Chains A and B, each alone.
Chain A
C-alpha cells in the first residue's frame, strides 16, 4: 500500500469518528482579525474545552460553528456537511442535531418554562403528539432536577435555575453535539460546580459530544478530555489539562497559575 493510500485510509477513519472538523478558519470584523487559520477536530463522545482570554475569539468561533456567523475563509464540517455552504433549511436540519447553551441562557422572557422547552420542538417541525411533547418536557426537566418550575416564568428563577432550564431546553432535541458558551460565567462557585457535574452526567447519559468555551479553570479541569488554548485567534496549544498544566510555554502557564 502506498503512502498516499495509507494517508487516505487514515483520513477516512478519522472522518468516521470526527463529528466536527474545522480547517483553516478565518474571521475578521473590519481590521480586527478574530480567528486566524484555526483548526480543530472533535471526536464523537469527546469533551473539548476551548480556553482563552476575553476577546480571544472563543464566542466568535462557536457562533461560526452553529452558523450564526459566516467565516471569511475555511471549512466547518459537522455530520459531513460544510456549515458555511448550507442554506437556511439545510442549516436548520444540522441545528436540530446540535444543542447550544448560551452564555446569557437566552430564555424567552415572555414564555413559561414549559413554552421555552417546547419552542425548539415545535420550530424544528418534529412530528410528535402533545402527549409526547409533555413527556419530553418533563424528562428534560427531570434531567436538570427542576420539574416544579414547569409553569414558572424565567424572571421567577434564580441564576443557577435559569442555567439549568437553558440546559434542559438544549437537551430537549437529544442533540449529538452540545456547544457550551461559558456555562459557568456569572454563577457562584457552588452552583458552577453543580452545572459542571450536570454537564458530565448529561454527556454520560446521552453519549453526547461537548465543545465548551470557558476560562473557568475548575470547569476546564473537571469537564475536559482535551483543552485547546486560543490566543489571538490562533490555536496556540492542545493537550489534556494535566499536560498543559506542566507546559513550559509562558503563555500557556499564564492560564494555569
Chain B
C-alpha cells in the first residue's frame, strides 16, 4: 500500500483520534481527580465565552426575526412569528451556531495552548513534576467543554429569543408576556430535549478535537498555528456531521 495516499493519512489520523478518545475514557474514572483544574477550566470555557456567545445569539435572534417578517406578512401569519422563530432557534439554529462559535473560540485556543505547551516542553515538565499531563490538561478541558456548552446554549437561546422579541417590536407591537407565551405555547419537550442532548456531544467534540490537535502537535511553532486552525476546521465539520446524525436519531425515536 502506498503510505503517501491522502486516504491512508486520513485513516491514520482518524485512528489516532479514536485512540486519543479511548485514552480519555480510560483516564476519566481513574483517580486522582483534578477537580480544581476542572473548575478553573469551566470558568475559562464557560464564563469567558459568554459575552461572545451572548452577542452572536442576540444578533442572530434579531436578524432572523427581521428577515422572516416580510414572508410571514405576505402569507398573513405574522402573528406566528414568535412561535416560528422560537422553534427554529431552540431546535436547530441555537445549538449549531452556539457550537460553531464555541469551536472558533475554545477549540482554537485549546489547540494553540496545548500545542505551545508541547513545543516548550511544559507537558514534559508536568510529567516530571508528578502529574499525569493527559489527565490534568486533556480530561479536565474535555469535561469542561462537554458540561459548559449546554449551559451556554440555554443562555444563548434565551438571549437570542430576547433579540427576536426586539425584532418583532421594531415594526410591530407585541407585549413581552405575549411574545414569551407564544414561544412557549408552541415549544414542546420534544423540541428542547434533543437540542439540549446534542449540545453535550458538540461540546465533547470541540474539546476532544481541540485537545487532540494541541497535544499531538509536533512541528515546532509552525505546528502551534496549524493545530489551532485544524482544531476549528475539524470541530466545525464534526459538529455538522453530529447534527446530521442527531436528526436521523431523533427521527427514528419519534422526536420530530
Contacts and interface: CB of A to CB of B under 8 A. Distances in A.
B130 A103 contact: no
A156 to B, nearest CB: 16
A102 interface: yes
B122 A106 contact: yes
A88 B32 CA distance: 12
Contacts of A92: 130
Please report whether the interface of chain B is mostly helix, strand, loop or mixed according to DSSP: helix
A120 B129 contact: yes
B174 interface: no
Interface residues of B, number: 14
A124 B131 CA distance: 8
A103 B128 contact: no
Contacts of B250: none
Nearest to B122: A106
A40 interface: no
Contacts of A95: 128-130
A109 B116 contact: yes
A84 to B, nearest CB: 15
B130 A120 contact: yes
Given A106-B121, A106-B122, A109-B122, A100 B128 contact: yes
A218 interface: no
Contact of A68 (B117, B120, B124, B130): B124
A106 B130 contact: no
Contact of B121 (A88, A104, A123): A104
B138 to A, nearest CB: 15
Interface string A84-104: 000010001001100010111
Interface in A98-128: 100, 102-109, 119-120, 123-125
A123 B122 contact: no
A167 interface: no
A106 B131 contact: no
B129 A119 contact: yes
Contacts of B182: none
A107 B121 CA distance: 9
Nearest to A89: B130
B21 interface: no
Please report whether the interface of chain A is mostly helix, strand, loop or mixed according to DSSP: loop
Contacts of B12: none
B137 to A, nearest CB: 11
Interface string B129-149: 111100000000000000000
B129 A68 contact: no
Contacts of B126: 108, 123
A206 B235 CA distance: 50
B237 interface: no
B125 A108 contact: yes
Number of chain A interface residues as a range = 20 to 34
B127 interface: yes
B130 A123 contact: yes
B36 to A, nearest CB: 10
A123 B116 CA distance: 22
Contacts of A68: 124, 127-128
A66 interface: yes
Contacts of A120: 129-130
Contacts of A105: 120
Nearest to A124: B130
B129 A123 contact: yes
A123 B127 CA distance: 10
Contact of A104 (B120, B127, B130, B131): B120
A125 B122 contact: no
A123 B129 CA distance: 6
B33 to A, nearest CB: 14
A106 B116 contact: no
A120 B126 CA distance: 8
Nearest to A172: B129
Given A104-B120, A106-B120, A109-B116, A123 B131 contact: yes
Contacts of A96: 130
Contacts of A104: 120-121
Nearest to A181: B121
A53 to B, nearest CB: 20
20 contacts: A68-B127, A88-B132, A92-B130, A95-B128, A100-B125, A103-B121, A106-B120, A106-B121, A106-B122, A108-B125, A108-B126, A109-B122, A119-B129, A120-B129, A123-B126, A123-B129, A123-B130, A123-B131, A124-B129, A124-B130
Interface of A: 63, 66, 68, 88, 92, 95-96, 100, 102-109, 119-120, 123-125
Given A88-B132, A108-B122, A109-B116, 5 more contacts: A100-B128, A105-B120, A119-B129, A123-B129, A123-B130
